[in-house]
Structure 1
Amino acid sequence: MMFKKKKKILDNEPNLVKLKYVKLGYHLVSNAMYLILVPLTIVSAHLSIEDFVHLFNSFKLNLMSVIPCTILTVLLAILHFLGRPKQVYLLNLSYYKPEPGLMCSLEAFMERSELRTNKTLAPMGLGLFRQLLTSPKNLCLEEARKEAEMVIFGAVDQLLAKTGVKSKDIGILVLKCTMVVNRYKLRGNISCYNLSGMGCSVGLVSIDLAKRLLQVRPNSYALVVSMESLTMAGNSLTNRSSDHHCSKYQLVHALRTHKGADDRGYNCVFQKEDINNRLGVAFSKDLLPVAGEGLTNNFTTLGPLVLPLSEQILFLVNFIGRKVLKMKIKLYVPDFKLAFEHFCIHAGGRAVLDELEKSLGLSEWHMEPSRMTLCRFGNTSSSSLWYELAYTEAKGRIKKGDRSWQIAFGSGFKCNSVVWRAFRTINSANEKHNPWIDEIDSFPVHVPEVEPIDC
């Protein structure tokens, strides 16, 4: 369903802005140990030896006070460092790319899938079901299982070969099916989580779940499988400090916003039958407003964690001017380009990418990974973000210290963000299994405008 009126994604007011800055204050309090130790260090640097001797003699006269204070300080320091969450690293990631024999033209796909109009699909490169290309078609459960095994095992085999991780060392598995446990003979006490019904945002939901589990389970590996019918990507995460030097990225932030408690959010993307009892996905007129609210809340939560102080001050001043002083000024949207070098926005459709490009003030260069992924592989749902990150790597854009922002949204309605920091410069020449590597020189390509349709 297409709508004639467009609505800006970020035009909604950040309703939780006060709460976000309360959280910012909490972060300062939580780091009080550093706020105390830094002034003490500065003062100590200016004391002479005579001052230290005099101070020591004074302490000797009051040991009953010094000893308890020292013990309390040590205990507080220990509790502070033990209470810090463990760092989580992205050891490596892999992707499945269909063989050339499984590709066909858009016209052939529409003919084989018995579609009657050439306006329902935008021009894009799709990996296809193997049984859809056979004649006669053999659409059965056994063929679907073989298709899934080909895709999943192809990516996981590649990932294990890349990382050198033994299957018995994997303690956490997050995916949509359990065939991986049997294929790779994973250990009996593995924590396996099967996520379904979460739509296009499940990829980042899986990362957030893996992060939370790794922060409470020492020395573990987590295998995250983002699998859809046509494409798939796999990720290996770890909290082992010894893997720091061989990991690609550090997981800096993972934030989730869920609008499912709102009936509009719950019903805006819904699977149901039409008047002819054909099963499909219905998009309501509330989709764009709900998406705007979800994105705004998510961005407002993330802002204080990643934006430079100057941007936070400008936003706060703008908020006070509009809400407190009742000034008629435009909502200030922070410049997220100051916080991130790379953007991976879920390639769900051209209209959504256009709106986010405009709202966030991004350039064509920033949007290139998302647009080229949509052009080459189509809307691959939860795995699209990983093909976008792979595009950035294949282009040789990832430098040491670069920050990448992945943004996903899906039915529910959910909006999720994950922030990665690169541990090293990614040499595209070493990315032999990157799905883009054999054709990256031909991108970017011009994507023609697609005529909107009503249905």
Structure 2
Amino acid sequence: MEVLLQDSFFSFFFAYFHLSAATALLLLVYLFSCRSTCIYLVDFSCYRPPDDLRVSTSNFIEHVEICGIFERDAIDFQSKVAERTCIGCDAAFPLALHQIPPEKSLNSSREETETVLFTVVKDLLSKHNINPKDIDIIVSNCSIFCPTPSITSMIINKFGLRSNVKSVSLSGMGCSAGLVAISLAKDLLKVHRNSLALVLSMEAVTPNGYDGKVKSMLLANALFRMGGVAVFLSNKKRDKRRAKYKLQHLLRTHMGSDDQSYQSVFQENDESGYVGISLSRALLHVAGNALKTNITELGPRVLPYSEQIHYGFSVIHRNFLTSTRKKEIYVPNFKKAFDHFCIHAGGRAVIDTVEEKLRLNKEDGEASRMTLHRFGNTSSSSIWYELSYLETKGRVKRGNRVWQIAFGSGFKCNSAVWECISDFNPNIRNAWSDRIHMYPVDIQDVADH
């Protein structure tokens, strides 16, 4: 009887032990699968146009006058806008737009795209000695120019990427598409372990010129310039040692359900049949509302509790405790959450609006203003030129947090928060290294002049 009891006890013990071990193993597997994958920004490379493609304000005005395309009112309006943009003499147009009249063919657009992207990809590959066949994911964004084969196919063909590389080309998403591309690459990296992603952001200027007389469409002629960026992202643990940043947050806000927002940046035909992108008078108001919605979601994730409590009390006081005159709601101090700000260099008014909404100092928008001055509005890549500026100035240190803010058609406001995880040499060659000693410049003096 005792032997039977002992056998029964040991059978029960071993069954319990195996069940517990199996449960613990399943729990470990579940926790491992649910564990958040870190996304590292290994490095990025911004395109620096050669000096022979530079277009000063006086060159731009002269070119507009002698092309014979525009009526006098359209010439005068573009001249006035160009003089107030704060874009300096180093910003560039692609070669096709230096011709008289400008060449806006498919071949010229493809040539510009290849010039920009081939240059930055080659630079990034050589800098880190990366074999193109090690790239697992490639995502590109270019809003207007959408060729066949696609832009990612251009890169795959040029550099010989693997046949099973995961490739996506985005179009029609405006100046905020750079962070949309980062978001897509991030989502793919969450699924595909031990992978390296290449993200390409640019806007082709060649096919975007507007030849009509509608002022809201002529604005783009004076604002947009040539540029682009290549970014390497990785989820490999070993890449943490060589990575510059770790992605902390990426939030996308889309206001397209509102008609005013949807139509604020709109590609259409004018009465004469010319195609252009119309920038409405309500654009700054729309951008402010989109930013407010975006930071309402971002704030609780990044702001210290003291700022959140202060904001909460101000809302309560305004809505419930003030009977006569409404008290202004407290704007949180985002400088307590971030060390650096990269605001899309869409124009001086855009930068001013964001600074006002967030109660930032002029120094906080320096990288954005200097990028606008040096490179013009390069659309989705502008926030990367700004980060490159901060790096080259030696201002980004290990542990710093950088907030990239991008706006685009739709209307969209997207935010990315990066934490610097390494110490890197600010003197390494990049898009700013040849002229960084000349910056910052006084933008107000440039505008007044």
What TM-score do the two structures reach when normalised by structure 2? 0.81
Aligned to 1:401: 399
Distance 2:281 2:442 in 1: 30
Distance 2:130 2:320 in 1: 56
Q: Is the 8 A contact 1:172 1:221 kept in 2?
A: yes
- Alignment map for 1:315-354 (pairs within 5 Å): 315-325=311-321, 328-354=326-352
Distance 1:98 1:300 in 2: 38
Q: Is the 8 A contact 2:341 2:403 kept in 1?
A: yes
RMSD: 2.5
Asked whether 1:120 is paired with 2:95, we answer no
Q: Evaluate the alpha carbon distance shift between residue 266 and residue 449 of structure 1 in structure 2; reply closer, same or farther with a 3 A threshold.
A: farther
Q: Is the 8 A contact 2:86 2:372 kept in 1?
A: no
Q: Give the superposition deviation at 1:297.
A: 1.2
Aligned to 2:108: 143
Q: Evaluate the alpha carbon distance shift between residue 449 and residue 410 of structure 1 in structure 2; reply closer, same or farther with a 3 A threshold.
A: farther
Equivalent of 1:211 in 178, 182, 186: 186
Q: Is the 8 A contact 1:112 1:132 kept in 2?
A: no
Distance 2:252 2:258 in 1: 16
Q: Which residue identity does 1:400 align to in structure 2? A: R
SS in 1 for 2:329: coil
Q: Give the superposition deviation at 1:135.
A: 6.0
Aligned to 2:47: 96
Aligned to 1:202: 177
- Alignment map for 1:280-291 (pairs within 5 Å): 280-291=276-287
Equivalent of 2:435 in 410, 434, 439: 439
| Fraction of identical pairs, as percent | 46
Question: Structure 1, unaligned stretches of length 5 or more?
Answer: 1-61
Distance 1:377 1:63 in 2: 73
Q: Which residue identity does 1:130 align to in structure 2? A: L
Distance 2:96 2:252 in 1: 37
Q: Which residue identity does 1:183 align to in structure 2? A: K
Q: Evaluate the alpha carbon distance shift between residue 245 and residue 279 of structure 1 in structure 2; reply closer, same or farther with a 3 A threshold.
A: same
Distance 2:199 2:176 in 1: 14
Distance 1:100 1:374 in 2: 17
Q: Is the 8 A contact 2:46 2:228 kept in 1?
A: yes
Distance 2:419 2:103 in 1: 45
What TM-score do the two structures reach when normalised by structure 1? 0.80
Distance 2:412 2:103 in 1: 36
Distance 2:44 2:107 in 1: 28
Q: Give the superposition deviation at 1:213.
A: 0.6
SS in 2 for 1:347: coil
Aligned to 2:7: none
Q: Which residue identity does 1:253 align to in structure 2? A: H
SS in 1 for 2:297: helix
SS in 2 for 1:427: coil
Q: Which residue identity does 1:309 align to in structure 2? A: Y
Q: Is the 8 A contact 2:288 2:357 kept in 1?
A: no
Aligned to 1:363: 361
SS in 2 for 1:428: coil
Q: Give the superposition deviation at 1:261.
A: 1.9
Q: Give the superposition deviation at 1:309.
A: 1.2
Aligned to 1:29: none
Asked whether 1:192 is paired with 2:130, we answer no
SS in 1 for 2:253: strand
SS in 2 for 1:128: coil
CA deviation profile, 1:234-285 (whole Å, cap 9, x unmatched)? 1010000011000111111111001112222211221112233332222334
SS in 2 for 1:420: strand
Q: Which residue identity does 2:55 align to in structure 1? A: C
Q: Which residue identity does 1:102 align to in structure 2? A: L
Q: Is the 8 A contact 1:406 1:417 kept in 2?
A: yes
Equivalent of 2:196 in 205, 221, 242: 221
Aligned to 1:161: 126
Q: How many residue pairs were aligned?
A: 390
Equivalent of 1:152 in 117, 122, 128: 117
- Alignment map for 1:245-324 (pairs within 5 Å): 245-324=241-320
Q: Give the superposition deviation at 1:184.
A: 1.0
Q: Evaluate the alpha carbon distance shift between residue 79 and residue 326 of structure 1 in structure 2; reply closer, same or farther with a 3 A threshold.
A: farther
- Alignment map for 1:63-102 (pairs within 5 Å): 75-76=26-27, 78-102=29-53
CA deviation profile, 1:42-96 (whole Å, cap 9, x unmatched)? xxxxxxxxxxxxxxxxxxxx989x9678875665454233202210000110011
SS in 2 for 1:352: helix
Distance 2:415 2:101 in 1: 44
Q: Evaluate the alpha carbon distance shift between residue 352 and residue 144 of structure 1 in structure 2; reply closer, same or farther with a 3 A threshold.
A: closer
Distance 2:328 2:42 in 1: 43
Q: Is the 8 A contact 2:269 2:276 kept in 1?
A: yes
Aligned to 1:420: 418
Aligned to 2:378: 380
Q: Which residue identity does 2:183 align to in structure 1? A: D
Question: Structure 2, unaligned stretches of length 5 or more?
Answer: 1-11, 142-150, 205-225
Aligned to 2:222: none
Distance 1:137 1:378 in 2: 19
Aligned to 1:45: none
Aligned to 2:219: none
Q: Which residue identity does 2:52 align to in structure 1? A: G
SS in 1 for 2:278: strand
Q: Evaluate the alpha carbon distance shift between residue 389 and residue 378 of structure 1 in structure 2; reply closer, same or farther with a 3 A threshold.
A: same
Q: Evaluate the alpha carbon distance shift between residue 316 and residue 137 of structure 1 in structure 2; reply closer, same or farther with a 3 A threshold.
A: closer
Mean CA deviation greater in 242-251 or 164-173: 164-173
Q: Which residue identity does 1:167 align to in structure 2? A: P
Q: Give the superposition deviation at 1:427.
A: 1.9
Q: Evaluate the alpha carbon distance shift between residue 442 and residue 227 of structure 1 in structure 2; reply closer, same or farther with a 3 A threshold.
A: same
SS in 1 for 2:191: coil
Mean CA deviation greater in 230-239 or 156-165: 156-165
Q: Is the 8 A contact 1:175 1:194 kept in 2?
A: yes
